[in-house]
Amino acid sequence: MSSQPSNLVDPFSVYEKSAPYVLMSSIVAIGLANQSPSGFFYLFFIAFTILIRMVVYKGVEQTNKQYAFATENGIRSIGTFIGAFTFMYLTLPMLLNKSVNFWIMCVLVFYMISDYFVRRANNRSSLPVDTLVNFIAGAGTAVGFVFGMNGFKLDQYLLFNETSSNKVMCSVPKKQTFKCAVYKNGELIGSA
């Protein structure tokens, strides 16, 4: 047997590094497939929250060296952050519209569980508090964005909104006008 290093790629390492980005790309692709800008709203929101997350972790790293987990462990829990954000961003509108897609929920739960176990298998598991903070931060920001979009009447740009659900919907214009003409014996007596 030779003692040459293996050129094989560790599949767990590839999964750990690429899965969050595959998940985000899939959500954008779903939006594009539905011919809706909803995927781009998701991408903007998650990019914004990841940027804020990076700034916060950098601040923690600079102010408190003993908790400098931004480069060592914090980055490794980005999958938890993205998974929690995506889970809440997709399922909260489903729950609000009472049109739950259990398959999507199961896939997202499977993603988060597999992300956790892959990181454990690679000995790249974050501190439990870091994993919890990333889960809460990801889910919390998604909840904020979903309720913010509902508040600003932008809920049609969510991936699972009221119009894309199975709900029966009817709408009538708020202001309707009718033209009428009243005739008596073939003669116009009034119009409105």
pTM of the model: 0.71
Whole-number pLDDT of residue 92: 92
Whole-number pLDDT of residue 6: 53
Whole-number pLDDT of residue 69: 47
How far is the first Cα of the chain from the last one, in angstroms, to the nearest whole number? 98
CB 134 within 8 A of CB 77: yes
DSSP string of 128-185, one letter each residue:
HHHHHHHHHHHHHHHHHHHHHHHHTT-GGGSSS-GGGSS-------SS-----EEEET
Whole-number pLDDT of residue 71: 45
44-75 confidence digits (pLDDT tens) = 999 999 899 888 877 766 666 555 544 444 45
Whole-number pLDDT of residue 146: 92
Task: For the chain of 192 residues, list the mean pLDDT of each consecutive stretch of 10.
Answer: 54 74 85 83 91 82 57 63 91 86 88 82 71 90 93 84 54 73 83 73
Is residue 190 classed as helix, strand or coil in its secondary structure? strand
Copy the structure tokens of residue 46: 């998650």
Copy the structure tokens of residue 139: 């889910």
What lies within 8 Å, CB to CB, of 145 at 6+ separation is 45, 89
Whole-number pLDDT of residue 3: 52
Copy the structure tokens of residue 189: 């007596």
Whole-number pLDDT of residue 87: 92
